[in-house]
Amino acid sequence: MNTGKITLIGAGPGDPDLLTIKGMKALQSADVVLYDALANHELFKYTPNQCIYINVGKRANQPCPSQEEINHLLVEYAFKYENVVRLKGGDPIVFGRGMEEADYARQFEIEVEIIPGVSSCIAAPALANIPVTKRGIAESFWVITGHTQNGKVSEDLIHASKSNATIVILMGLGHLSEIMDLFLNQKKGDLPVGIIQNGTRRDQNVILGKIKDIESLKSRLVKNMPGVIVIGEVVNHAITAELAEVYFERN
C-alpha cells in the first residue's frame, strides 16, 4: 500500500521569522500539519488553503494527547495523504521526541525527513544578549532537560552544578526550586541566573538574578509561560529592557 511522506520540521523558538527556508518550503506542500503548542500559528500562512491542522501540543496541567497517540496519528494520516508535516517547537530532536516519531513511522515503511530548527537553547539567550559561550568566561555549555520521563529532575543537573560551563535548562520551570538548590549545595549562590520566558517573541519576559535569589525569581515568573533557564557568568551580559524593546520594534 502506498503511503505519504512525513516531514518533521523544527518551527524555531517562537519568532516566525526564525523558521528555516527549507521548513517553509515543506509547509508550502503540506496536506496535514500536526503542530505543537509552542509552534507559532503564524507559520500556517505558508500552507495551502485546503491544509488540515491538528493540535497535538502538550502543556503542563492541561489535557493533551499522549506520545503514543501522536505516533499513531502520524501514521494514520500518512496512509491517507501525500505530505504530512509534524511541526515541532525549536528543533525536532532537541528534547522534542522527534526521533521517537520518526522511528515509529519507519516501522511502517513510511518515508520520514527531518528538517532542523533553531533551538531555544541558543536563540532565547542570544536575543536576551546572553552568549552561551564567551572566550575567557565560558568555554562550553550544557543543554539539559529540566525533568526526565518520570517527572524527576535529571541527574545530569547534579554533575552540571559542579561545572564551570554555562548551563541551559529547558522545560525546567516546574522544578526551579530543586534546580537552584543543586547549585546552592555547591556554594554557588552568587552565580548569575537568567530566565527567559517566551524567548524571541514580543511578549518575552526576561528575569535576572542570582541562584540565591530563588524566591524573588519565582515571584516574577509569568504563570503557564514556558521558559529557558541559563546559569553562568555569561548571564551578566543580559540585555536591558530598553534594548529588548528596540529589538522587537525593528522586527
Active site residue 58: yes
Asked whether the beta carbons of 75 and 4 are under 8 A apart, the reply is no
Active site residue 180: no
Exposure on the CB side of residue 130, measured as CA atoms within 13 A? 33
Helices 67-78, 98-106: axis angle to 10 degrees equals 50
Catalytic choice (15, 31, 36, 91): 36
Asked whether the beta carbons of 200 and 127 are under 8 A apart, the reply is yes
Catalytic choice (134, 171, 181, 218): 171
- Pure H helices in the chain: 21-27, 67-78, 98-106, 120-126, 156-160, 176-184, 214-219, 241-250
Among residues 141, 159, 145, 124, the alpha carbon closest in space to that of 231 is found at 141
Among residues 200, 234, 241, the alpha carbon closest in space to that of 220 is found at 241
- If one counts every other C-beta atom within 10 angstroms of the C-beta of residue 129, the result is 17
Asked whether the beta carbons of 229 and 168 are under 8 A apart, the reply is yes
Catalytic choice (22, 58, 134, 212): 58
| Residues assigned a catalytic role | 36, 58, 171
